[in-house]
């Protein structure tokens, strides 16, 4: 299919080959030799930034490192100083990561611009590519530090947070050669951006199950996290009759089943996960007196998620009441759903169709830099299929043909991009 589209657009040179080879070069920059770990404000971060800025320069962009360590490249439009279409993704990783999560979107964007540059093509807007320095939040337990700085929503209090070695974010920035007091300068104004667009691997199995190389993202799902503490009565496993027990773990098990059932029947895109549980006292011959578990609920719209959370809370309250268990239920984290802008999503769909692929829409269950960027720009995302839906894992894989498909769609999208006012 990419052969057809290449002949349709009259461009013979494939984009995918260069992207895959750069993905591999970037993946070699790791804290450890036998797996991929690239953490914010480390020497690997520095080496990766230098490599990426070199690629940006080769693509005809002006590149610099901003005050939080993001790499920023700019390709001028038909005249200098025009507002930009911003493309981007992150180049930090989780520990023992896959090499595609983040870098694919960043490197594909640079290769698309290199292609424009090679043809001497300038558009009626500038294009900027931002490689976000910290999306995963591995080092300082706070995600999206890079994109929040660009969006102007960086929380100064984060500077005091410390990594495992006791080094504060402020100290780490200074050691890296950045000035923590200049982070405000990384912020961009709304008027400078026409839109923010991100290509990313799906990190889930939906596109693969539909046999599609690319998908149009409808929204980045919001999430609610809760913590549930159930207290009953510990007792001897041999002497307390079943009818007289107040078993906190058995009560939790019933709650967990109810959460699963509720999310299974709660409509499209609703997902609920109990990812941790701790039981006390925790012995074979003791009835559990206490249990503590976490709940993570996500849905493509806030109304849907809030309705599901309310229903789950109601069920947990009913179960614990019937079992005479004390309940402490707290919301520990909440973030809103970021819908992709209709006008921009329509252009993503148009580019997908023009490249000869069926247009398939899906929500993003995972968080992305677009969540922060939505504060200063309309956002949209293009997903590329990854093998088995596997991500945050060394076996994460994208087929070269899918890299080519994603890059082709992105390039077409850039070349046909119309700003909001012109698009309506
Ligand atoms: Zn990512």
Q: How many CB atoms lie within 10 A of CB 239?
A: 8
Task: Give the Å distance between the CA of 15 and the centre of ligand 1.
Answer: 21
Interval between CA 250 and ligand 1 midpoint (Å): 37
How far apart CA 274 and CA 131 sit, in angstroms, is: 33
Q: How would residue 424 be classed by pLDDT, with cut points 50, 70 and 90?
A: low
Q: What is the mean pLDDT of residues 165-193?
A: 97
- Does the pLDDT of residue 423 top 90, yes or no? no
Whether residue 219 contacts residue 181, with contact meaning beta carbons closer than 8 Å, is answered with no
CA of 296 to the centre of ligand 1 (A): 19
User: Rounded to the nearest whole angstrom, what is the distance from the C-alpha of residue 91 to the centroid of ligand 1?
Assistant: 8
Look over the chain and give the mean of its residue pLDDT values, rounded to a whole number. Answer: 94
Q: How far is the CA of 200 from the centre of ligand 1 (A)?
A: 7
Distance CA 25, CA 14 (A): 18
Instruction: Output the CA 89–ligand 1 centroid distance in Å.
Output: 7
Q: Cα(283) to centroid of ligand 1, in Å? A: 40
Give tens-digit pLDDT for 34-57: 999 999 999 999 999 999 999 999
State the Cα–Cα distance between residues 350 and 216, nearest whole angstrom: 10
361 CA from centroid of ligand 1 (Å):
19
Q: What is the DSSP letter of 94?
A: -
Q: How far is the C-alpha of 2 from the C-alpha of 5, rounded, in Å?
A: 5
Query: Cα(90) to centroid of ligand 1, in Å?
Result: 6
Chain segment 88-142, per-residue pLDDT in tens: 999 999 999 999 999 999 999 999 999 999 999 999 999 999 999 999 999 997 8
160 CA → ligand 1 middle, Å: 25
Rounded to the nearest whole angstrom, what is the distance from the C-alpha of residue 367 to the centroid of ligand 1?
Answer: 8
- pLDDT interval class at 13 (50, 70, 90): low
CA–centroid distance, residue 49 to ligand 1 (Å): 17
Whole-angstrom CA distances from 409 to 13, 106, 260, 403, 405 are 15, 14, 37, 10, 6
Distance 20 CA to ligand 1 centre (A): 17
What digits encode the pLDDT tens for the residues 222-240?
Answer: 999 999 999 999 999 999 9
Q: For residue 391, report the distance from its CA to the centre of ligand 1, in Å.
A: 9
Cα distances from 288 to residues 233, 254, 280, 321, 327, in angstroms, run 7, 14, 6, 17, 15
Cα 393 to middle of ligand 1, angstroms? 12
Distance 231 CA to ligand 1 centre (A): 38
Minimum mean pLDDT range among 10-14, 225-229, 291-295, 405-409: 10-14
**Residues 388 and 205: beta-carbon distance below 8 Å:** yes
Instruction: State the distance from the centre of ligand 1 to the C-alpha of 384, rounded, in angstroms.
Output: 12
Report whether 177 contacts 41 (CB < 8 A).
no
- In this prediction, residues 361-388 reach a mean pLDDT of 96
């Amino acid at each position: 299919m990419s052969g057809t589209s290449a002949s349709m657009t009259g461009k013979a040179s494939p984009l995918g080959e260069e992207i895959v080879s750069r993905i591999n070069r970037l993946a070699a920059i790791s804290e450890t030799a036998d797996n991929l770990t690239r953490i914010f404000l480390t020497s690997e971060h520095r080496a990766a930034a230098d490599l990426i800025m070199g690629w940006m320069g080769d693509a005809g962009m002006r590149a610099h490192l901003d005050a939080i360590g993001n790499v920023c490249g700019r390709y001028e439009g038909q005249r200098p100083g025009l507002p930009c279409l911003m493309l981007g993704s992150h180049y930090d990783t989780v520990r023992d990561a896959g090499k595609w999560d983040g870098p694919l979107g960043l490197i594909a964007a640079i290769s698309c611009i290199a292609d424009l540059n090679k043809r001497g093509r300038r558009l009626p807007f500038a294009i900027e590519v931002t490689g976000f320095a910290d999306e995963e939040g591995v080092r300082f337990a706070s995600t999206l530090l890079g994109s929040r700085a660009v969006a102007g929503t960086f929380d100064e209090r984060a500077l005091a947070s410390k990594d495992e070695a006791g080094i504060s974010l402020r100290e780490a920035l200074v050691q890296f050669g950045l000035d923590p007091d200049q982070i405000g300068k990384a912020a961009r104004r709304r008027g400078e951006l026409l839109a923010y667009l991100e290509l990313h691997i799906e990190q889930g199995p939906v596109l693969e199950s539909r046999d599609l190389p690319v998908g149009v993202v409808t929204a980045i799902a919001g999430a609610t996290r809760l913590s549930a503490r159930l207290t009953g009565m510990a007792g001897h496993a041999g002497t307390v009759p079943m009818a007289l027990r107040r078993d906190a773990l058995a009560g939790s098990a019933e709650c967990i089943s109810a959460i699963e059932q509720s999310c299974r029947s709660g409509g499209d895109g609703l997902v609920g996960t109990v990812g941790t549980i701790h039981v006390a006292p925790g012995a074979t011959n003791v009835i559990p007196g206490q249990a503590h578990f976490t709940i993570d609920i996500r849905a493509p719209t806030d109304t849907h998620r809030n309705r599901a959370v309310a229903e789950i809370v109601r069920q947990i309250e009913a179960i614990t009441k019937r079992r005479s268990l004390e309940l402490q239920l707290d919301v520990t984290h909440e973030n809103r759903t970021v819908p992709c802008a209709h006008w921009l999503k329509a252009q993503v769909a148009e580019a997908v169709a023009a490249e000869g692929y069926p247009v398939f829409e899906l929500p993003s269950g995972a968080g992305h830099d677009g969540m922060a960027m939505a504060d200063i720009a309309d956002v949209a995302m293009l997903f590329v299929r990854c093998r088995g839906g596997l991500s945050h894992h060394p076996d994460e894989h994208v087929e070269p043909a899918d890299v080519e498909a994603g890059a082709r769609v992105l390039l077409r999208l850039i070349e046909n991009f119309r700003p909001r006012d012109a698009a309506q």
